[in-house]
Amino acid sequence: MKDKQFLMIPGPTPVPQTALIELGKAPLGHRSSEFSTILKETYENLKWLFQTKNHVFIYTSSGTGAMEAALANILNPGDKVLSLIIGNFGERLAKISTTRGANVERMQVNFGQTIDPQILKERLAQDINKEIKVITLTHSETSTGCANPLKELMEIIRGHGAISVVDGVTSVGAMDVKPDEWGIDILISGSQKGFMIPPGLSFLMASERAMKAYEECKYPSFYFDFKAYKKAFESDTTPYTPAVSLISALNETLKIMKNEGLENIFARHKRLALGLRKAIKAMGLKLFVEDDTKASYSITSILPPDGITVADIRKVLKEDFDIVVADGQNDLKGKIFRMGTLGYVCERDVIGAIGALELTLKKLGANIELGNGVKAFLESLIA
Amino acid sequence: MKDKQFLMIPGPTPVPQTALIELGKAPLGHRSSEFSTILKETYENLKWLFQTKNHVFIYTSSGTGAMEAALANILNPGDKVLSLIIGNFGERLAKISTTRGANVERMQVNFGQTIDPQILKERLAQDINKEIKVITLTHSETSTGCANPLKELMEIIRGHGAISVVDGVTSVGAMDVKPDEWGIDILISGSQKGFMIPPGLSFLMASERAMKAYEECKYPSFYFDFKAYKKAFESDTTPYTPAVSLISALNETLKIMKNEGLENIFARHKRLALGLRKAIKAMGLKLFVEDDTKASYSITSILPPDGITVADIRKVLKEDFDIVVADGQNDLKGKIFRMGTLGYVCERDVIGAIGALELTLKKLGANIELGNGVKAFLESLIA
């Protein structure tokens, strides 16, 4: 049915009408007082959403741009970086560090697992000379559906003193992240995730410690330059022409989020994700991340039943029900499918999607009793 | 009057309804076959618009992002760069080169002037050992309204053999640029200019020579990496999540442009800009760039009459007539105002703007006879 598509991938996520209408308006001049007013409000609300007193820069780029921004502004060739890797996006931070000439050590777990705080603690205890300058890590790993115990890991990192670069692409605006309280130095995210607008903007919070590391960076990126964005932030502007339409849309979605409230937003994501996990199990399917305490609340990875392919499940969901779910990435391609409950998603969206998944599996010959999944989800909501 | 604003600045420029409607639609998944089909068509039409057989990468960034991309992918610390500077944006290419550790030599003229091919020829003749690796230059300088004699300059640069990086931000899609024929290695532009969509995308054409220079680059940008974008271009995709809504809108505006035809687009920009210049003179005002052969066809810089400030002209134009024109930048702030005839602009837009400018000047106490400007413009159209 035309215009009925439900993007249940980990981004782009569904966009509220209010934001779409902003996007469909003629763009404002980026140096106009009207736009400056919007930007001022957006900056303030971003600080609220990021739960920080630090500046939150808006880059016109993908989330990967913010990843590069994070590292390009603080690393010099030869710097030692410890990258905690639980999936593809953790690996990306390691790769970017390498392209900046850093000496990268990887602490990697099997995908589907998270970093064990004890192992990190032991590794950092060995770093007596504090050679590790930067530690990169992921909160919610979009490629696996795992979420690291960020608060615990940050406590250990803070004890060591390295600069922390945290990928919050699918956690900010969905799961609780407290950068100031937990001591995160750089926290990044992207517009097409919890922020409920299309891709094109990324966000970067930089602490004072991060700004100090920037001062020692020999060749920081010009386009992503921390100092230029800091100065612009303080004058309600941007250093270069930003994607004004996306920022106007963001200003609207941030108001929607403020109205819902942080606690409610986090509770909704938790409720929907844990409920979906119950439904998946009730349908007899297996979760890629078995332990609820290691699961992301933004994205749930599911193994297809024996004899049914991920490709077929995605095809039927799309063709029969206008629902788009994601395949696994790289080595996980064809092994898992991923359902997002990220951003502008409510109970009835997930009820509908679970029902559609049941019908899809039935059509593909799975031995399931219709309704079990939906029942488990409904029950989880009143538990 | 609501929604009547006419952006006569050098970007963002007016956006056709067809493109606004695309922007207001729910975004497609960036890895879907539907989006891949759009991207394939967009890539092909970009090559047409850029008049090239080379790849044209789409970056989710401002034009400055493409500037950084150009230099970050080919420069190593210590490389010698010659920057031809006729305004702020030429200076920006020099600055970015410096941030990459290059050894930058500036060939700078008074703003309002263009590079003299003879002087460039003499400088390059002195470079017997071919120490200059890269030459950066601007086609249409957005900050002054000048246009360099690009074809002539390129002939000299080609004779020398340096890699050429050309800022075509306000020329591609407005003025004739033939990268393959003229031997341009890297040509960049931005979405909110001749491409008629809001800011958020930038474009970069890379020649085979540019790709070879990339191979020797030690620390190319990860986000803007030439090789990743080349590979993606060949598979109708992008390396990272792009601003899908803007690309869908771009696909529509490129079709509009194809329908109008390159020659017609260039002729329209020339006609409107030269006509506006005639009108300005007929009103008794002075042009910042006096020589028609040195003028950009995208942007016209005008000196305010004695006793009237640029700020007042901009204020009255905006408040009484919903027309936004640009101030000068940096040293030129308050000394000139700039009127764009770039992108989605037609005869009646310019007639209206000239009339409004006449009324504005009259209101501000200028000694002008109403109608002279409009008359000169109308006459220029049938000349």
| Closest chain A residue to the Cα of B323, Cα to Cα | A29
Contacts of A244 in chain B (CB under 8 A): 12, 198-199
Query: Of A237, A230, A231, whose CA–CA distance to A32 is shortest?
Result: A237
Instruction: Tell me the average pLDDT across A199-220.
Output: 97
Cβ within 8 Å, pair B27-A77? no
Residues in chain A: 383
Helical (H) or strand (E) element with B165:
strand B163-167
In this prediction, what percent of chain A has a pLDDT beyond 70?
100
Q: Which of A59, A92, A97, A222 to mutate to test the interface with B (most CBs of B within 10 A)?
A: A222
3-state secondary structure of A217: coil
Query: Of A58, A10, A13, whose CA–CA distance to A38 is shortest?
Result: A58
Q: Does B18 touch chain A (CB under 8 A)?
A: no
Residue type, B116: D
Given a contact cutoff of 8 angstroms between Cβ atoms, the answer to whether B8 and B324 are in contact is yes
Q: What is the pTM of this model?
A: 0.97
Instruction: Tell me the average pLDDT across B97-101.
Output: 95
Instruction: Tell me the average pLDDT across A119-128.
Output: 98
- What confidence tier does B73 reach under pLDDT thresholds 50, 70, 90? very high
Q: Which of A223, A310, A339 to mutate to test the interface with B (most CBs of B within 10 A)?
A: A223
| Closest chain A residue to the Cα of B225, Cα to Cα | A99
- What confidence tier does B303 reach under pLDDT thresholds 50, 70, 90? very high
Chains A, B: CB contacts within 8 A come to 172
Give, to the nearest 10 degrees, the angle between helix B63-72 and helix B88-99. 40
Instruction: Give the bridge partners for A137, in sequence order.
Output: A166
Cβ within 8 Å, pair A61-B65? yes
Q: Does A30 touch chain B (CB under 8 A)?
A: yes
Q: Does A329 touch chain B (CB under 8 A)?
A: no
10 Å CB burial of residue A51 (0-12, 13-18, 19+) is middle
3-state secondary structure of A128: coil
Contacts of B192 in chain A (CB under 8 A): 27, 241
Cβ within 8 Å, pair A198-B244? yes
- State the smallest CA–CA distance between residue A155 and chain B in angstroms: 30
Q: Does A289 touch chain B (CB under 8 A)?
A: no
| Closest chain B residue to the Cα of A248, Cα to Cα | B198
- State the smallest CA–CA distance between residue B15 and chain A in angstroms: 6
Torsion of Cα atoms, A280 then A282 then A288 then A293, to 10°: 100
- State the smallest CA–CA distance between residue B47 and chain A in angstroms: 22
Q: Does A253 touch chain B (CB under 8 A)?
A: no
Vertex A340: Cα angle to A336 and A343 (nearest 5): 165
Q: Does A20 touch chain B (CB under 8 A)?
A: yes
Instruction: Give the bridge partners for A57, in sequence order.
Output: A204
Given a contact cutoff of 8 angstroms between Cβ atoms, the answer to whether A171 and A43 are in contact is no
Interface list for A 53-72 with B (CB within 8 A)? 60-65, 67-68, 72
- State the smallest CA–CA distance between residue A13 and chain B in angstroms: 8
Tokens for A152, please give them.
């615990």
* Secondary structure letter of residue A189 according to DSSP: E
Query: Of A213, A148, A216, whose CA–CA distance to A182 is shortest?
Result: A148
Interatomic CA distance for residues A79 and B381, integer angstroms: 63
Q: Does A164 touch chain B (CB under 8 A)?
A: no
Contacts of B218 in chain A (CB under 8 A): 101
Instruction: Tell me the average pLDDT across B262-266.
Output: 98
Q: What is the bridge-based pairing of β-strands A55-60 and B286-287? A: unpaired
Contacts of A63 in chain B (CB under 8 A): 240-241
pLDDT in tens, B193-205: 999 999 999 999 9
Interatomic CA distance for residues B276 and B288, integer angstroms: 13
Cβ within 8 Å, pair B72-A221? yes
Tokens for A287, please give them.
């979760």
Residue type, A126: Q
Interatomic CA distance for residues A252 and A291, integer angstroms: 36
Given a cut of 90, is residue A1 above it in pLDDT?
no
Instruction: Tell me the average pLDDT across A225-231.
Output: 98
3-state secondary structure of A197: coil
CA distances from B346 to B36, B173, B262, B268 (A): 33, 15, 15, 8
Cβ within 8 Å, pair A200-B240? no
A117-138 b/e (C-beta count within 10 Å ≥ 16 → b): beebbebbeeeeeeebbbbbbb
Interatomic CA distance for residues B163 and B157, integer angstroms: 8
Largest CA distance in chain A: 62
Cβ within 8 Å, pair B61-A30? no
- What are the contacts of A37-46 at 24+ separation with CB within 8 A? A37/A236, A38/A247, A38/A248, A38/A251, A39/A236, A39/A237, A39/A238, A39/A247, A40/A236, A41/A251, A41/A254, A42/A247, A42/A250, A42/A251, A42/A254, A43/A233, A43/A236, A45/A251, A45/A254, A45/A255, A45/A257, A45/A258, A46/A203, A46/A254
- pLDDT for B1 equals 84
Residue type, A56: V
C-alpha of A237 from chain center: 25
Cβ within 8 Å, pair A64-B24? no
Instruction: Count the Cβ atoms, other than its own, within 10 Å of residue A375.
Output: 15
Given a contact cutoff of 8 angstroms between Cβ atoms, the answer to whether B81 and B104 are in contact is yes
The residue behind tokens 């406590």 is A155
B243 closest CB neighbour out of A30, A67, A199: A199
pLDDT in tens, A288-343: 999 999 999 999 999 999 999 999 999 999 999 999 999 999 999 999 999 999 99
pLDDT in tens, A156-202: 999 999 999 999 999 999 999 999 999 999 999 999 999 999 999 99
Interatomic CA distance for residues B141 and B156, integer angstroms: 20
Instruction: Count the Cβ atoms, other than its own, within 10 Å of residue A44.
Output: 14
- State the smallest CA–CA distance between residue A6 and chain B in angstroms: 9
- What confidence tier does B383 reach under pLDDT thresholds 50, 70, 90? confident
- Kindly give, in sequence order, each residue whose CB lies less than 8 Å from that of residue A291, ignoring residues fewer than 6 positions away: none
Strand order in the sheet with A103-108: A55-60, A201-206, A186-190, A163-167, A132-138, A80-85, A103-108
- State the smallest CA–CA distance between residue B159 and chain A in angstroms: 31
Tokens for B348, please give them.
């009646």
Q: How many H helices and E strands in chain A?
A: 14, 15
3-state secondary structure of B200: coil
Instruction: Tell me the average pLDDT across B315-337.
Output: 97
Cβ within 8 Å, pair B99-A220? yes
- pLDDT for B48 equals 98
| Closest chain A residue to the Cα of B197, Cα to Cα | A27
| Closest chain A residue to the Cα of B20, Cα to Cα | A24
Q: Does B82 touch chain A (CB under 8 A)?
A: no
Alpha-carbon torsion (B54, B57, B58, B64), positive or negative: negative
Interatomic CA distance for residues B368 and B278, integer angstroms: 15
Largest CA distance in chain B: 62
Torsion of Cα atoms, A57 then A61 then A65 then A67, to 10°: 50
pLDDT in tens, A246-265: 999 999 999 999 999 999 99
Cβ within 8 Å, pair A223-B11? no
